[in-house]
Amino acid sequence: MTYIFEVTDERMERKMKKPEKMTPPTAHNEAKPGDFAKTVLMPGDPRRAEFIAKTYLESPRLVNNVRGVNGYTGTYKGVPVSVMASGMGVPSIGIYSYELFNAYDVDNIIRVGSAGSIAPDVKLRDIVLGMGACTNTAYAGQYGLRGTFAPTASYALLKKAADAAEKMGLTYHVGNLLTSDTFYSADQTEAEDWAAMGVKAIEMEAAALYMNAAYLGKNALAICTISDEVFTGRVTTPEERQNTFTQMMELALEVSIS
């Protein structure tokens, strides 16, 4: 059976048009056209971006440093790869990932960040592949959808990451993340409520990245290392988060060239 839908609401037609192509440089990125590879690793911390570039990329060059949000391009095992920081939170990654997708023709963004475990089987330094990203943010409101949008990873990237993690012998989990707008929440039971729904960990960026990818027809995946266990109080130090979450970085790099 074939269904034919006729759009008669001019307002809906206008809302659903895709955005115009942006021209580099942008307000937040000084890179020139062609400076970014098709795949970008995106940590939150600019220092983590620098660490990844200088540790793993061959001949890395700084292509963006507006506001100190370091962006580098080099090669990994002979394949062009870029890495650029996203900053913290939905508004920040929303800006930087949108510009990379729209203005710089990036096809894949892999978030490499930290998250707080709220599942009893997800321990410190485990890796979580964000199949979906529940959220308390209002980011989806801009699309004017008549319902609730479910932000999900790109299956192709998710499958590559799971396959690579198996080969690398990593301890990893696949499931829902919670992208939260609040780091210090006044609601002391919020984490317990999301945990009861099977959410693995809390972070602050994945949902916006997934929505941008969906809207612009691109691919996105969040790979997170557990930096703290919310209910036990176990934590890693800022220096450890910056420099020692190497399994996550190496996993993302393998996905980027597969």
Closest among 18, 4, 23, 8 to 143, alpha carbons compared: 18
107 belongs to the catalytic site: no
Helix, strand and coil percent figures for the chain, each rounded to 5: 35, 25, 40
Neighbours of 9 (CB within 10 A): 8
Q: How far apart are CA 86 and CA 90, in angstroms?
A: 9
Alpha carbons 127 and 154: distance in angstroms, whole number? 17
Q: Which of 35, 45, 126, 228 is catalytic?
A: 228
C-alpha–C-alpha distance, residues 46 and 251, integer Å: 19
Is the C-alpha dihedral spanning 87, 92, 93, 98 positive or negative? negative
Active site residues: 228
